[in-house]
Structure 1
Amino acid sequence: MLTRFSKQKQMRTIKTKSEAHIMLTLTANDVRLGATADDWQDALQQAARDLESAGRTSSEYLAGMSAREQQSSTVLGNGIAIPHGTPESRNAVLNTGIRILQFPEGITWHDGARVYVLVAIAAQSDEHLDILRHLTRVLDKPGLAEKLGHASDAAELVALLSKAPAVAKCDTETLCLGIDASTPNELALIAAARLQSLRCVDTDFLASIIGQPPVDLGEGFWLTHHTVGARRPTLSLATPKRPSSELRGVFCLAGPGDECHDLLERIDNFLARNEPIDGLNAEAVLARLSGEAADAVTAKVTLLNTHGLHARPAKQLVQEARRHNASIRLRLLEGDGSAVSATSLTRVIGLGARRGQTLLLSATGDEARQAIAALTKAIDEGLGETVAPLQSAEQRMVVPEAEPARELTDDQPLKAVAASPGLALASAFVMRQPKLRYEQSAEDSEQQIQRLNQAIDDADGQLRTLIRQAEGGEAAPILSVHVEMLQDEDLYQATLEAINEGTSAEAGWWRAIDTAARAQEALADRLLAERAADLRDVGRRVLANLCGVTMPTPPDAPYILVADDLGPSDVARLDTSRVRGLVTARGGATSHSAILARALGLPAVVGAGESILAIADGADLVVDGERGCVVPNPGVERCDKIRRRLQQLEALQAQAHENRNQPATTEDGHTVQVGANLGNTAHTPDAVDRGADGVGLLRTEFIFMAHPEAPDLATQVREYQHAFDALNGLPLVARTLDVGGDKPLDYWPLPQEDNPFLGMRGIRLSLTRPDILETQVRALLTAAGDRPLRIMFPMVKDLEEFRAARAIVSKVQSEVLANDVQVGVMIEVPSCALLASTLAPEVDFFSVGTNDLTQYTLAIDRGHGQLSAESDGLHPSVLKLIRMTVEAAHAHNRWVGVCGELASDPQAIPVLVGLDVDELSVTSRRVPLVKACIRGLNLETARQQAEKALSLATASEVRDALEAW
């Protein structure tokens, strides 16, 4: 039977791998070319003055920079130095920033090194460590020092410092061991297919490999290599299940020769040692390819330093390595498979090792054992820094004092987290996970592997069936991620290792799933931690297949689904003609089940607590997705009231759909535009069909997230044209790229941030890469032509940021003809609302993003498991910011829209209309209802409701008053 390795499926690692990132972005505006200096002290003084002139530091910072040079030289090598202050001088830093000074003639630094460029850093914390870690990756560029000195353009200099050499990939993912194949050609194709599945090459590479035979390297090893279709330098090794003297393995190399130098050296060194690899696991084979000899003394040690292996601890490690008569190499377990000399400071720093990652040490020579023991001890002790041990996943998950379980009381609301708006009353169906009983151990490992493979293949087929059924909906892309998780090689290898140790397929599989899920749940990033539910969902599917157990079947009658937690595949299987609402004991408002519930238009609450699982199947249950509560066994009076509301709502929905193309005009003749919020241009026809007056918010991130690199102009133009074509002349409001912090892009790496919602995101991130922003603006204008386009910038905090972004639009407008363009900002940051009067004269419109505005105003993370229910956009403080925005806009004849979830809240709509908001933008499904709601309003009455809401003290008071109204 073919092993899992021979199946050409895409494989991705679930665990998050730490990488070195740049927090301080190098830009041309921070460069001064052609500087001269008498000596290094003069150069240092100039750097300090430049930082002070740029408003980054006070004059006292120079003393800190000088003190830092006394401690040790800040020269990195290859003509670069990065002078910065000491921790004690951080009080002299006013704003984090960088200044780059070029000295074409060079300066002799106090350590004797010749320096051509100073990257002077003013950092309020430890941002400079990431700059240093990144710059070490460009030090090996041939002729870099000369190029730095002769650069005649600021952008050219920044490019030299920023564009690191392509990182070669050769790790356990690229290895294909024990393949059932008997010829070099077969192994070459399998190795090439693995590289394609890892997105290191494209189909052109496969075609090129097919067209050329492998080259015999001797000793049973072969090489196939091509540059066509190679996305990055990569090395794969495929070995046969039954090796012979003629065929022991085939290397598949992708990439141009100058970028593959390191990989070719690995092959040469590997062949020169001629060490057997038959029967070795992937980790051992990788060790041989990384230059670790079979007889090397090795050790694994976890790095505990808070800021990782930056300059100071790296220097301690190198000094310790140099004390021993041994050849010592260092490799990062979570890295790309390359091992570096432990005596090279820049190479060690360039590993980018971070706290919690594992270093693999190997040594040969007379003092190999002493060297490994000494280095292990030094790393454990912190390499000169104070370190604390890592907490286990279980420890990180412990809540100091758990909340007492809330008891269910008949006809009493139980507070939860509102996840999807709507109201439902139906019988409860509790999805209790079936008991999956299995043996922990098994003797026949081969049979267990066969059972595992079959269960995984069955799960793969089940998921693909669900994807076909959900095609075009929100569930399909999420389930596609599940397929990728299912194919993850780390999970499979961990399971195989457990089986080979004597566990059953069930026990080995669940051990691998549980370990990976716990690791994700322990992450500081809430969004990534919540994705552990997806992993467990995938794991349960395979485990159920292994146990021969089917999942519980819901009743034929209408019901409300109650579960501990729901995975996307659970939601995708729902029969929306029967299910009326969703309730989960756990989960947050950003979980996939909550996202899908909103997409399906199902009322849902999450985080209701374990007590909700005690409700009996068939018991009446109320789900209020507007207010975030459930009511078990509601009384007769409550049921009658809710049924009347539901009947009214059903009639209203039918009437609203019938009149969906009528304008949203109040009884006294005031018209409000109702647009649609879209996350994809493919949904534009549906929005128009539902009566939307245009697109009130197009989240353009989808284009950027769908590509491994920033999409080019032609790609973006095609996507935007789909929307304009479907709108038939209706306006399109496009939000420029809104990523960063909590929504990273693979090709735009950012550092880990303690609070990503207050970090590099939105327009502040886009302005660090004006080329990407300019391309997006150009694509929007090109696609629009003479059709109405509204461009708005996210996360603007003040006029300075708007002007910087507006300048890019003006530049493109001078080159691209577009007749109907407006440029505005999103009001998401309280400072922007407070300063609306300064922005209004220069913008064309405002769009209030109430989701972020609410969380920033109330200082409540809207995805927080306990507090998110209190993050209510009807809080008077939020309403006052909206009123300030409207008043400032109307004073200058500008229009104001609201595109957050508050715009579709039935209780909030009268208030927003009463605040004289000009446009509401909601999900497509809500457009007919929102328009109908506005048509039933009287503007004067709405203004009275708004005034009443503004006079109250809390969101609860506002909602109570509006309900009583």
Structure 2
Amino acid sequence: MLMQMYYAKDNFMKSYKGKSIYNGVAIGKIYFYSKGEQVVKREKVDNSDEEVKRFEKAKEQAITELNSLYDKALKEVGEVNAAIFEVHAMMLEDDDYIDSIVNMISSQKVNAEYAVAMTGDNFSKLFAEMEDEYFKARAIDIKDISERVVNCLTGKALDGNLGEEPVIVLAKDLAPSETVQMDKSKLLGFVTELGSSNSHTAILARTMNIPALIGIEALPELNGKLAILDGYSGTLIIEPEEDILEKMKKKQQEDLENRKLLMQLKGKETITLDGKKIHLYANIGSVSDVKAVLANDAAGIGLFRSEFLYLEKNTYPTEEEQFQVYRTVAEMMAGKKVIIRTLDIGADKQVDYFNLEKEENPAMGYRAIRICLDRTDIFKTQLRALYRASAYGNISIMYPMIISVDEVRQIKKIVEEVKAELMEQGIKFNEVEQGIMIETPAAVMESEALAGEVDFFSIGTNDLTQYTLAIDRQNPKLDNIYDSHHPAVLKMIQMVVENGHKEGCWVGICGELGADISLTRTFLKMGVDELSVSPSFVLALRKEIREVNISEL
């Protein structure tokens, strides 16, 4: 952490440098948020059966609370972001977790609070020491659910009350449940000491359009002090000088005015000054996200992450269940393009009922299309649902983690089998555009040959950067060298565009880099045809594109 100090004539100002999670400016007093973790004492109990019943009752209350949180989050941040609370409720039903608590109460004759707290600490430590980043992240979830059960046992409630006036929340760390419970009308922004840009809380901040920083020490003595959260520079300024305060108020006002101006772009074409039309689409993970796509006037959906259908269930979603979801999205988009990515399970997206073995390097392991081509029954079920839904809208299909022409030909063979089955059964479907994700260096180098096999490419810049730089994008220790602007990454994107166009294949970008306005002109100069981003970025990108003359770049 870097800290700079500035001395004024009449006051003392401090500026703390962190990492920005979401751009924007927040001005207000600091509210130091302390979890107020209870000191749980070990107490001897005479009736362990009664204590087990107390635990069971508290567990059920915690699950009820989590279900309420899910409903609240569903309205505020959409189905994908709300899913974490379903996961927490499922974790509370885990046999190993419950058995550990019950066994401790019964064998050691201790109070339920102590058994829950100790089990939470033990499991959390176990997960934290694992090498896999996905399991490391679960350590925080275990702590969160255990603290919730302890609070239920002691009668302590967490209501998210931030006081009477809007504040900037400063905390050591924030669990997703704590973020969702806070009164949004009183939340100007938040700053945490711990966490990463890929944490659930960071994702919620971006979804709710709340300026946020991480990596700044949570000092209790800052409570109540006037502060500026500058999401653009990643800076927290305490007790700002008058001239800086006025400057940032002006910046804040400009932000508000820019948002109003952006709303005027709704209904306008996404076209450059010299007439190049760009397809500006949105990324989603569920049916409920479609309203954000329509509200921000995206021209279509460039990435529907279908794996969330699998992540949210306890068993494989049926063909009918998938069909209803795909059909609903297609109908809601009313003829606009909807690109659905086939399931991308594996790596950091684990599903228990898939029974995937633990891997030393899951990001490069058994995942995505590799699972589909190995377990063709799962793949065919999804393809049947997708083709059936194609009769109700403009659906395209995209396949992730491709590394060879041979894989694409295997996919096409399975697709033809599915189409033949549907025709034989008299089930209607439309012809569907077929595309692939370019997210491995192998796919980049083979892109000219691959372009001859498919209709479009969509570049997944998150994984492409990870694999090109050999850097785990979920490891916060490597954030300082993870560089999505690396020349090697940009050269690969250029190569893909050129090779795709040689074979008449349109090329888009659906990774986080697509929303990076500092690169928009670079992508237009490269000849990128489509950008697919989070719905909230659509209008800002449209503004940038409409101000560009590609011939002058």
Q: Decide: shared fold, TM above 0.5.
A: yes
Q: Offset at 1:720?
A: 1.0
Residue 858 (structure 1) aligned with residue 465 (structure 2): no
Q: Offset at 1:818?
A: 4.3
Q: Offset at 1:573?
A: 0.6
Q: Offset at 1:864?
A: 0.8
User: For the Cα contact (< 8 Å) 2:398–2:437, is it kept in 1?
Assistant: yes
| Residue of structure 1 equivalent to 2:30 | 428
Question: Alignment partner for residue 505 of structure 1, among 112, 118, 126?
Answer: 112
In structure 2, the CA distance between the partners of 1:916 and 1:425, relative to structure 1 (3 Å rule), is farther
- Secondary structure class of the residue paired with 1:870: coil
- Separation in structure 1 between the aligned mates of residue 247 and residue 447 of structure 2, nearest angstrom: 43
Q: Offset at 1:462?
A: 3.3
Structure 2 letter corresponding to 1:604: A
- Separation in structure 2 between the aligned mates of residue 599 and residue 723 of structure 1, nearest angstrom: 20
Matches within 5 A, 1:569-608: 569-606=177-214, 608=215
Structure 2 letter corresponding to 1:761: R
Question: Alignment partner for residue 126 of structure 2, among 519, 538, 542?
Answer: 519
Q: Offset at 1:717?
A: 1.9
Gaps of 5+ in 1: 1-404, 944-965
In structure 2, the CA distance between the partners of 1:549 and 1:788, relative to structure 1 (3 Å rule), is closer
Quick check: 429-438 or 533-542, which moved more? Answer: 429-438
Residue 654 (structure 1) aligned with residue 257 (structure 2): no
Question: Alignment partner for residue 151 of structure 2, among 532, 537, 544?
Answer: 544
Pairs aligned (count): 535
Structure 1 letter corresponding to 2:36: P
- Secondary structure class of the residue paired with 1:660: coil
| Residue of structure 1 equivalent to 2:172 | 564
Residue-by-residue CA offset, 1:213-267 (whole Å, 9 max, x unaligned): xxxxxxxxxxxxxxxxxxxxxxxxxxxxxxxxxxxxxxxxxxxxxxxxxxxxxxx
User: For the Cα contact (< 8 Å) 2:304–2:341, is it kept in 1?
Assistant: yes
Residue-by-residue CA offset, 1:569-623 (whole Å, 9 max, x unaligned): 10111222232333322223333222322332323344x16x3345601335555
Quick check: 669-678 or 798-807, which moved more? Answer: 798-807
Q: Offset at 1:857?
A: 1.4
Higher fraction of helix: 2
| Residue of structure 2 equivalent to 1:847 | 458
Question: Alignment partner for residue 532 of structure 1, among 139, 143, 148?
Answer: 139
- Separation in structure 2 between the aligned mates of residue 791 and residue 862 of structure 1, nearest angstrom: 26
Residue 806 (structure 1) aligned with residue 412 (structure 2): yes
- Secondary structure class of the residue paired with 1:484: helix
Q: Offset at 1:479?
A: 1.7
Matches within 5 A, 1:787-936: 787-813=393-419, 816=423, 818-936=429-547
Residue 765 (structure 1) aligned with residue 371 (structure 2): yes
Larger radius of gyration between Structure 1 and Structure 2: 1
- Separation in structure 1 between the aligned mates of residue 493 and residue 113 of structure 2, nearest angstrom: 55
- Secondary structure class of the residue paired with 1:671: coil
In structure 2, the CA distance between the partners of 1:467 and 1:653, relative to structure 1 (3 Å rule), is same
- Secondary structure class of the residue paired with 1:744: coil
RMSD: 2.9
User: For the Cα contact (< 8 Å) 2:24–2:252, is it kept in 1?
Assistant: no
Q: Offset at 1:407?
A: 5.7
Which of the pair has the greater relative contact order for Cα pairs under 8 Å at 6+ separation? Answer: 2
Residue 645 (structure 1) aligned with residue 256 (structure 2): no
In structure 2, the CA distance between the partners of 1:860 and 1:426, relative to structure 1 (3 Å rule), is farther
Q: Offset at 1:803?
A: 2.3
User: For the Cα contact (< 8 Å) 1:827–1:846, is it kept in 2?
Assistant: yes
Q: Offset at 1:687?
A: 1.4
- Secondary structure class of the residue paired with 1:752: coil
Residue-by-residue CA offset, 1:8-30 (whole Å, 9 max, x unaligned): xxxxxxxxxxxxxxxxxxxxxxx
Q: Offset at 1:919?
A: 1.1
- Separation in structure 2 between the aligned mates of residue 938 and residue 636 of structure 1, nearest angstrom: 40
In structure 2, the CA distance between the partners of 1:757 and 1:485, relative to structure 1 (3 Å rule), is closer
Q: Offset at 1:761?
A: 1.5
Q: Offset at 1:525?
A: 2.2
- Separation in structure 1 between the aligned mates of residue 526 and residue 221 of structure 2, nearest angstrom: 42
In structure 2, the CA distance between the partners of 1:413 and 1:935, relative to structure 1 (3 Å rule), is farther
In structure 2, the CA distance between the partners of 1:462 and 1:719, relative to structure 1 (3 Å rule), is closer
- Separation in structure 1 between the aligned mates of residue 148 and residue 203 of structure 2, nearest angstrom: 21
Structure 2 letter corresponding to 1:429: Y
- Separation in structure 2 between the aligned mates of residue 780 and residue 533 of structure 1, nearest angstrom: 36
Q: Offset at 1:841?
A: 2.7
Residue 751 (structure 1) aligned with residue 362 (structure 2): no
Matches within 5 A, 1:24-63: none
- Separation in structure 2 between the aligned mates of residue 504 and residue 715 of structure 1, nearest angstrom: 44
Q: Offset at 1:744?
A: 3.2
Structure 2 letter corresponding to 1:532: A
User: For the Cα contact (< 8 Å) 1:527–1:590, is it kept in 2?
Assistant: no
- Separation in structure 2 between the aligned mates of residue 593 and residue 763 of structure 1, nearest angstrom: 29
In structure 2, the CA distance between the partners of 1:642 and 1:856, relative to structure 1 (3 Å rule), is farther
- Secondary structure class of the residue paired with 2:218: helix
Identity among equivalent pairs (%): 33
Residue-by-residue CA offset, 1:40-62 (whole Å, 9 max, x unaligned): xxxxxxxxxxxxxxxxxxxxxxx
- Separation in structure 1 between the aligned mates of residue 54 and residue 182 of structure 2, nearest angstrom: 29
Residue 414 (structure 1) aligned with residue 14 (structure 2): no
In structure 2, the CA distance between the partners of 1:682 and 1:450, relative to structure 1 (3 Å rule), is closer
Structure 2 letter corresponding to 1:921: S
User: For the Cα contact (< 8 Å) 2:73–2:82, is it kept in 1?
Assistant: yes
Structure 2 letter corresponding to 1:503: V
Residue 462 (structure 1) aligned with residue 70 (structure 2): no
- Separation in structure 2 between the aligned mates of residue 429 and residue 693 of structure 1, nearest angstrom: 40
Structure 1 letter corresponding to 2:515: S
Structure 1 letter corresponding to 2:133: R
User: For the Cα contact (< 8 Å) 1:685–1:727, is it kept in 2?
Assistant: no
- Secondary structure class of the residue paired with 1:760: coil
Residue-by-residue CA offset, 1:306-350 (whole Å, 9 max, x unaligned): xxxxxxxxxxxxxxxxxxxxxxxxxxxxxxxxxxxxxxxxxxxxx
Q: Offset at 1:860?
A: 1.4
Please give the TM-score of this superposition, normalised by the length of structure 2.
0.87
User: For the Cα contact (< 8 Å) 1:589–1:862, is it kept in 2?
Assistant: no
- Secondary structure class of the residue paired with 2:119: helix
User: For the Cα contact (< 8 Å) 2:162–2:183, is it kept in 1?
Assistant: no
Residue 485 (structure 1) aligned with residue 74 (structure 2): no
Q: Offset at 1:691?
A: 0.7
In structure 2, the CA distance between the partners of 1:665 and 1:638, relative to structure 1 (3 Å rule), is farther
Matches within 5 A, 1:38-437: 409=5, 412=15, 414-416=17-19, 418-420=20-22, 422-434=24-36, 436-437=38-39
Residue-by-residue CA offset, 1:884-921 (whole Å, 9 max, x unaligned): 11122223332111111111223233332332211111
Q: Offset at 1:848?
A: 0.8
| Residue of structure 2 equivalent to 1:939 | 550
Structure 2 letter corresponding to 1:852: D
